A = this chain, B = another copy of it.
Amino acid sequence: MAHNLPIEGFRRILGDKGITIEQDDIAPWLNDWRGHYQGAAAAILSPATTKELAACVRLAAEHGIPLVPQGGNTSMVGGATPPADGSALILSLRRMNSIRAIDTSANQAVCEAGVILSVLHDAAEAAGRRFPLSLGAKGSATIGGLISTNAGGTQVLRHGTMRGLVDGIEAVLPDGSIYEGLAPLKKDNRGYDLKQLLIGAEGTLGIVTAATLKLVPAITHSATAWFGLGSPHDALALLRALEARLGPIIEGFEVMAAEPVGYVIEHVPNTRAPLAQLAPWNALIEFDLSNSGEGGRAQLEAALGDLMTDDTIQIHDAVIAQNEAQARDFWRIRETIPEAERAAGFPIAFDISVPINAMPDFMLSAAEACTARFAGTTATSYGHLGDGNVHFHVRAPADIADRSGWLKTSGEEIRHYVHDLVVAAGGSISAEHGIGQSKRAELGRLSSPARIMALRAIKAALDPHGIMNPGKLIPLASEA
């Protein structure tokens, strides 16, 4: 535990509502939802305004007290869990939850960091717009966390990651100064892009307090198709052929091996396969027909018909959803894969990316290499092929009774092995989820000296006392 905490100083800044010191109230925020990390903290600070937050950071800086920013606490990599030694305080953004403005003319929303993603979705919809980023944790994840982890999801193909959806940013820097960059400037060449530096920094360079976010038009007409395919190569060829014929109307393109689809049909109630026969590979495609006029659907059907007879792409079968209910059923298969995977027994999961054109080969060759190297394992993948990002899963041999024991003994070796394959393919060991605590050592092991030097130099420059989200992202000296 940290000594000499200026609790009363924080209370003067925040009032009684803004500080939590009862351990029972703090406890739910001390571990990550996956249960991999357990932290400790003497207090949660919950400022209601950017000024209060800045005053907290100044006081923390004076006393050298580390702060762990926390939004919805949905990190996949332990990025919002305080250190176990109790040296840090949690700084919660949950009271900064106002949508300050929605401007339908500029297609922008100004949100505080604590706004929950689904709340923004609803507000945008009520204004006839949408915020085109979504993910499973949307009911808990907050805008500040999504920015600080450069979140992705299934709409990245068309709309980009969070990095492309932030038009302006407000943040408190580690010295307590306020960086005021909310004004959305499409062109601004006044030196280093501090906005982009803070996006994806996992709270290690400052605390994002608000952002101006892009909105896009609501979708008024759409179509959803399911394709059964021979290989991931066919999936990528299909995507490219559709883009060439139909232009930028593909809102989502998810690829799934037969195995995870099979788990869904087996384990998730009320699901059924969209096609008569489950193909080795499957693509779920969402088309935005809002700007395609009356003939949009006919044009789409004609294009898909043409592709069925294109013998450069091995298409087993395909179907367009006949109504919204059927479209929802198709998407439910994709969305319940994580749940079905858990029901089938936890795999070792990788969140990885490689250059898009290299991904089909990687999906097959990495699976083959893994199962050859680790006897009895199975490996497969699903996800955002069009972004070069899939969730690659390795499963324990079927005859292993003690799976969690196996995960402990074989897990690290398999992790190293797969990450080495990713690096050899020019890829990233963290596509969507960030580094946090869980990938820090691997980042150190696998990064070039130039990258590590730059990360450390920037961290030390902006946070010289190391008070911003300690223990996250930056590899320790022993790890590089």
Mask, A351-390, CB within 8 Å of B = 1, is 0011111000000000000000000000000001001110
- Indicate if A139 sits at the interface (CB-CB under 8 A): no
| Complexed CA–CA distance, A299 and B389 (Å) | 38
Mask, A139-171, CB within 8 Å of B = 1, is 000000000011010001000010110000000
Chain B's closest residue to A389 (CB) is B187
Least CB distance, A469 to chain B, in whole angstroms: 12
Contacts of A186 in B (CB 8 A): 156, 161, 353, 356, 387-389
| Complexed CA–CA distance, A192 and B474 (Å) | 10
- Indicate if A197 sits at the interface (CB-CB under 8 A): yes
Mask, A426-448, CB within 8 Å of B = 1, is 11111111110000000100011
- Indicate if A184 sits at the interface (CB-CB under 8 A): yes
Contacts of A344 in B (CB 8 A): none
A356 to B184, Cβ gap below 8 A?
Answer: yes
- Indicate if A398 sits at the interface (CB-CB under 8 A): no
Task: Decide: A156 near B187, CB < 8 A? Known: A450-B180, A458-B192.
Answer: yes
Chain B's closest residue to A293 (CB) is B299
- Indicate if A455 sits at the interface (CB-CB under 8 A): yes
- Indicate if A200 sits at the interface (CB-CB under 8 A): yes
Q: Which of A243-251, A266-274, A276-284 contacts B (4 or more CB under 8 A)?
A: A243-251
Contacts of A49 in B (CB 8 A): none
B353 to A187, Cβ gap below 8 A?
Answer: yes
- Indicate if A86 sits at the interface (CB-CB under 8 A): no
Mask, A286-309, CB within 8 Å of B = 1, is 000011010100010000000000
Least CB distance, A475 to chain B, in whole angstroms: 9
Least CB distance, A398 to chain B, in whole angstroms: 32
| Complexed CA–CA distance, A187 and B293 (Å) | 33
A431 to B177, Cβ gap below 8 A?
Answer: no
Task: Decide: A451 near B194, CB < 8 A? Known: A106-B357, A457-B462.
Answer: yes
| Complexed CA–CA distance, A358 and B153 (Å) | 32
Contacts of A240 in B (CB 8 A): 105
| Complexed CA–CA distance, A295 and B163 (Å) | 36
| Complexed CA–CA distance, A357 and B161 (Å) | 25
| Complexed CA–CA distance, A431 and B187 (Å) | 5
Number of interface residues of A (CB under 8 A): 81
B434 to A189, Cβ gap below 8 A?
Answer: yes
| Complexed CA–CA distance, A201 and B105 (Å) | 32
Least CB distance, A212 to chain B, in whole angstroms: 9
Task: Decide: A200 near B205, CB < 8 A? Known: A448-B180, A450-B173, A462-B454.
Answer: no
- Indicate if A28 sits at the interface (CB-CB under 8 A): no
| Complexed CA–CA distance, A448 and B236 (Å) | 47
- Indicate if A310 sits at the interface (CB-CB under 8 A): no
- Indicate if A2 sits at the interface (CB-CB under 8 A): no
A185 to B462, Cβ gap below 8 A?
Answer: no
Contacts of A357 in B (CB 8 A): 103, 105-106
Mask, A20-31, CB within 8 Å of B = 1, is 000000000000
- Indicate if A68 sits at the interface (CB-CB under 8 A): no
Report which of B156, B192, B453 forms a contact with A200, defined as CB distance below 8 A.
Answer: B192
B293 to A191, Cβ gap below 8 A?
Answer: no
Chain B's closest residue to A168 (CB) is B355
Least CB distance, A384 to chain B, in whole angstroms: 8
Task: Decide: A432 near B187, CB < 8 A? Known: A194-B454, A197-B197, A454-B179.
Answer: yes
| Complexed CA–CA distance, A450 and B355 (Å) | 37
Least CB distance, A104 to chain B, in whole angstroms: 10
A106 to B355, Cβ gap below 8 A?
Answer: yes
* A-B contact list, 14 entries, CB within 8 Å: A105-B357, A106-B357, A152-B187, A177-B449, A179-B451, A183-B354, A186-B389, A187-B353, A188-B428, A190-B428, A191-B474, A192-B197, A192-B458, A247-B291
Q: Which 9 A-B pairs have the closest CB atoms?
A: A247-B291, A461-B461, A183-B426, A196-B196, A177-B450, A457-B461, A187-B431, A188-B428, A187-B389
Chain A residues proximal to chain B, CB less than 8 Å? 103, 105-106, 149-150, 152, 156, 161, 163-164, 173, 175, 177-180, 183-194, 196-197, 199-202, 205, 217, 240, 244, 246-248, 290-291, 293, 295, 299, 353-357, 384, 387-389, 426-435, 443, 447-451, 453-455, 457-458, 460-462, 473-474
